[in-house]
Amino acid sequence: MLALPRLEGPRLAGLPADDLGFIEIDDHARVVGLDNVYAAGDATAFPIKQGGLATQQADAAVETIAARLGAAVKPSTFQPILRGMLLTGIAPTYLRATINGDLPEHGELAATPLWWPPTKIAGRYLGPYLAETARREEGTALEDQPVSSDDPREVQAGHREARELALTFALADANSQDYPSALRWLEVVEQLDGILPPGYIEKRTEWRERAHG
Ligand SMILES: Cc1cc2nc3c(=O)[nH]c(=O)nc-3n(C[C@H](O)[C@H](O)[C@H](O)COP(=O)(O)OP(=O)(O)OC[C@H]3O[C@@H](n4cnc5c(N)ncnc54)[C@H](O)[C@@H]3O)c2cc1C
C-alpha cells in the first residue's frame, strides 16, 4: 500500500481558490475571475507541481503582461513540457514529456541531457542562471536536445555531471578511509568515460594498497 498526502492550496486572502485552495488560471496565467492578476507555480490549480512548469507559467504571464503594456510580442500560451532528471545515484537519467490536459504524453528518456544546460530546474531563464551560478556550464537560453547522439563529445558532456559526482564521492570516501567504496566510484567513472581523469590512476594505486593493507 502506498500512502500519499493530499495536496492543499494556500487559500491566499483576496484571491479566488478552487475547492482545494489552489488558484485557477487560464492559458496565459491570468487568474480566473480577476483582471490584471496573474499567478504561476505550485499555488495554481495545475495538477503537476514542478519548478520547471512554474517557470513556463511565469513565461506565459510575463509575455501577456508585456503585450498588454504595448510590447511587440505575441504572448504564447502555457504549453507544459515536463523535464525531469532522475538521480539514480550513479548517472542521471533525463526525462521529457509534453502534457495533454493533466496527463504526460510523448515521453522521452535518455542517458544524455535532453535540454541544455542540464539543470534540475529547467526554465528558459532560470536554468541557464542556475548553471552559471553553479559555474557548471554557461548558457543564455534553455535548449531542448535530441534523444540520442553519436557524437562522442556530446556523450562526454552528458557524462560530466555524473563524473563530477562520482569523483566527489570517491574523494569523500577516501578521506573517510573507506577505500573499497572510493574504488567502486572510480569504476563508475571508468564505465562512463573509459578512462580515469589525470591523477586518478595514481590515487587508485594508492587506495588499492590502503584497501588491502
Ligand atoms: C524535495 C523537492 C524536490 C524538488 N525537486 C525539483 C526538481 O528537481 N525540479 C523541479 O523543477 N522542481 C522540483 N521541485 C518542485 C519545486 O520546488 C516547486 O515546484 C517550485 O519551487 C514551485 O515554485 P513556486 O515559486 O511556485 O513556490 P515556492 O518555491 O514554494 O515559493 C513560494 C514562496 O512563497 C512564500 N509564501 C508562502 N505563503 C506566503 C504568503 N502568504 N505571503 C508571502 N509569501 C508566502 C513561501 O515562503 C515561498 O518562499 C521539488 C520540490 C521538492 C519539495
132 C-alpha vs ligand 1 centroid, how far in Å? 21
Residue 67 and residue 32 in one domain = yes
Residue 109 and residue 137 in one domain = yes
Structural domain includes residue 1: no
- Nearest alpha carbon, ligand 1 atom 36: 10
Ligand 1 pocket test: pick from 49, 59, 88, 124 the residue with the most ligand atoms within 8 Å of its Cβ.
49
Task: Determine the pLDDT at residue 89.
Answer: 61
193 C-alpha vs ligand 1 centroid, how far in Å? 36
Reported confidence tier of residue 110, pLDDT bands at 50, 70, 90: confident
Task: Determine the pLDDT at residue 135.
Answer: 56
Structural domain includes residue 2: no
Residue 134 and residue 197 in one domain = no
166 C-alpha vs ligand 1 centroid, how far in Å? 28
Judge contact between 23 and 17, C-beta under 8 A.
yes
Domain count, the chain: 3
Residue 96 and residue 63 in one domain = no
Task: Determine the pLDDT at residue 109.
Answer: 82
Reported confidence tier of residue 13, pLDDT bands at 50, 70, 90: very high
Name the domain boundary from 63, 79, 95: 79
**pTM summary value:** 0.72
| Nearest atom (ligand 1) to Cα of 123 | 11
- Ligand 1: residues with CB < 6 A are 10, 12, 41-43, 49-52, 54, 120-121
Residue 139 and residue 93 in one domain = yes
Task: Determine the pLDDT at residue 145.
Answer: 75
Task: Determine the pLDDT at residue 148.
Answer: 63
Residue 55 and residue 97 in one domain = no
Tell me the C-alpha distance between 186 and 130, whole Å.
28
Look at residues 119, 154, 116 and name the one whose alpha carbon lies nearest to residue 133. Answer: 119
Q: Find the domain containing 42 and state its range.
A: 8-79
Task: Determine the pLDDT at residue 165.
Answer: 85
The mean per-residue pLDDT over the stretch 163-174 comes to 89
59 vs 137 pLDDT, higher one = 59
pLDDT digits (tens, 9 = 90+) for 74-93: 999 999 999 998 876 666 78
Residue 12 and residue 75 in one domain = yes
How does 89-106 read in b/e, with b if 16+ C-beta sit within 10 Å?
eebbebbbbebeeeebee
Instruction: Identify the weakest region by mean pLDDT among 6-10, 29-33, 130-134.
Output: 130-134
